[in-house]
């Protein structure tokens, strides 16, 4: 069994924020793969079904970004999901908008949602980092991540999501370098 988690903030005012790109991806994934209707469970909105012949649980934590690990921990404990079968989709300011980087393990890089997950389950899970670009000034970071995507950025992010779906088999097979390379073409 695999767990796909998208990070974001559940308040409707954050729905189109850059910080919610993980939620945006999960909503598109549910629709694209015809997964079950979202239902609240384990401090998140869960769906389940099949993606590329693999049983998956898909979640948007409802704990707000900084406490995402609580939700992930409850799901992994209940379903006994190995950490290397967890795929977390999240925003990354240090990556150009529209680019993707993947890795297993590593540091949080200052991302509070990732830090919460690291603290809850360790670091041996797969991270799909979706670039949202940097505002150029450290003082503007909070405003940048909590502001909505521009219309041009929305188009770029929609294209990124399509590329992720096109190459999801590589992600599931944990061929992270191949997935990254093909998704950035």
Q: Where are the domains of the chain?
A: 2-183
Report the C-alpha gap between 138 and 27 in whole angstroms.
30
User: What is residue 110's predicted lDDT score, i.e. its pLDDT?
Assistant: 86
Task: Please tell me the pTM assigned to this model.
Answer: 0.96
Q: Which of 19, 111, 134, 144 is catalytic?
A: 19
Regarding the domain with residue range 2-183, which homologous superfamily does it belong to in the CATH classification? Peptidyl-tRNA hydrolase (3.40.50.1470)
Q: pLDDT digit string (tens) for 64-114?
A: 999 999 999 999 999 999 999 999 999 999 999 999 999 999 988 889 999
Is 19 a residue of the active site? yes
Residues 120-175 have pLDDT tens digits of 999 999 999 999 999 989 899 989 999 999 999 999 999 999 999 999 999 999 99
Contact of 112 with 22, CB cutoff 8 Å: no
Q: Which whole-number Å values give the CA distances from 66 to 76, 116, 117, in the listed order?
A: 18, 6, 9
């Amino acid at each position: 069994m695999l767990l796909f988690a998208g990070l974001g903030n559940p308040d409707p005012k954050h729905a189109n924020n850059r910080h919610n790109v993980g939620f945006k991806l999960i909503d598109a994934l549910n629709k694209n793969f015809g997964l079950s209707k979202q239902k609240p469970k384990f401090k998140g909105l869960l769906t389940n079904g099949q993606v590329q012949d693999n049983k998956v649980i898909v979640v948007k934590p409802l704990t707000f970004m900084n406490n995402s690990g609580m939700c992930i921990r409850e799901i992994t404990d209940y379903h006994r999901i190995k950490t290397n079968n967890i795929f977390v989709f999240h925003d990354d300011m240090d990556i150009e908008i529209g680019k993707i980087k993947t890795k297993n393990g590593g540091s949080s890089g200052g991302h509070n949602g990732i830090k919460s997950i690291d603290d809850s389950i360790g670091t041996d899970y797969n991270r799909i980092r979706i670039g949202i670009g940097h505002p150029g000034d450290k003082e503007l970071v909070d405003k940048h991540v909590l502001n909505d995507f521009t219309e041009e950025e929305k188009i770029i992010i929609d294209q990124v999501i399509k590329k992720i779906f096109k190459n999801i088999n590589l992600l599931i097979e944990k061929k992270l370098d191949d997935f990254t390379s093909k998704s950035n073409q």
